[in-house]
Amino acid sequence: DLSVELMNTWHVPRSSIKMGNLLGRGNFGEVYEGRWNDTTDVAIKIVRTNSSFDTFMKEVKTMISFKHENVLQIYAVCKEKWPYWIVTELVPYGNMLHYLGRFGHELSEVERLYMAFGIASGMAYLSKKRCIHCDLAGRNILMGQHNICKVADFGLSHKLKEMDTEEYYDATGHVVPFQWMAPEVLIQLKFTRKSDVWSFGVLLYELFTDGKRPYAGDLGAQQVQDLIKCGGRLKRPDACPNVVYHIMQRCWNFEHRKRPPFCKLKREL
């Protein structure tokens, strides 16, 4: 069991954490496995971007309040000096893309649907918390035991204010991964909770192709934008059931208000 001390405080000293092996690198830094006070296995995200302290704490404040089986749990931070550390639960199998690369050939259709259900459940929880993820993709899903998926990496996320009636987030200034982005993001640089739904449809494509890159990586941002505006969509993967592809197509409705909410997607999966 996780120590009460670790659960009830935001800050722990670096000296209490023993650094282990490198688990991976991303746009925001590196992630290592570690051990806290020789009692608890953890993951340590070392933030090496030029982000300010305020940006760093934004991610922490976003994550710290989340308590759901399918959302990565943050335990504490080490902010005594740069670079800052975020201490989270240790998820053993890395991100979904690596997992599919290793074990995809062994996964049944039922197991993939279970993974999709877990991701939809985590996103339904985040949506209820008025959080837009803004970067939902296979690379940001971590794999636990028994195919349990955890939504992770909230570096681009945004918490909607209670008074946001249109529920838009201006993405100006952010670099967005266009293959996963909804039309309103590509064209207007505006995120809504339904923008995450579009990205979920692309994530399902990844899940049923063992991590194949959407649009084969051959099209640029303008070409993808033009394709989507003309009604073009990703084709049904060979391993994808028709009923799941129908869900994907509904996630890709050009009009964001007509896309299904995650609470409905969760029930359908």
Specify the pLDDT at position 21. Answer: 94
Tell me the CATH architecture of domain 14-89: 2-Layer Sandwich (3.30)
Chain-centroid distance, C-alpha 96:
10
Which of 6-20, 67-81, 219-233, 250-264 is the most confident on average?
A: 250-264
Binding residues for Mg(2+): 140, 153
Q: Does 105 score more than 60 pLDDT?
A: yes
Specify the pLDDT at position 155. Answer: 58
What sign does the dihedral 191-197-202-207 (CA atoms) show? positive
Which of 72-76, 167-171, 255-259 is the most confident on average?
A: 255-259
Specify the pLDDT at position 186. Answer: 84
Asked whether 197 and 261 are in contact (CB, 8 A), the reply is yes
Q: Does 63 score more than 60 pLDDT?
A: yes
What sign does the dihedral 229-232-237-242 (CA atoms) show? positive
Give the integer Cα–Cα distance in Å for 253 and 183. 9
* CATH number listed for the domain at residues 94-268: 1.10.510.10
When mean pLDDT is compared across 6-10, 164-168, 239-243, the lowest value belongs to 164-168
Q: How confident is the model at residue 3 (pLDDT cuts 50, 70, 90)?
A: very low
When mean pLDDT is compared across 129-143, 154-168, 209-223, the lowest value belongs to 154-168
Share above pLDDT 90 across residues of the chain, in percent, rounded to a whole number: 53
Query: Which residues does the annotation mark as catalytic?
Result: 135
Q: How confident is the model at residue 7 (pLDDT cuts 50, 70, 90)?
A: very low
- CATH 3.30.200.20 in the chain: give the residue spans: 14-89
Share above pLDDT 70 across residues of the chain, in percent, rounded to a whole number: 82
In this prediction, residues 77-85 reach a mean pLDDT of 84
Q: Does 167 score more than 60 pLDDT?
A: no
- CATH 1.10.510.10 in the chain: give the residue spans: 94-268
Q: Does 234 score more than 90 pLDDT?
A: yes
Binding residues: 45, 139-140, 153
Q: Identify the residue whose tokens are 């670099």.
A: 175
Binding residues for ATP: 45, 139
CA distances from 8 to 2, 44, 76, 121 (A): 10, 18, 9, 26
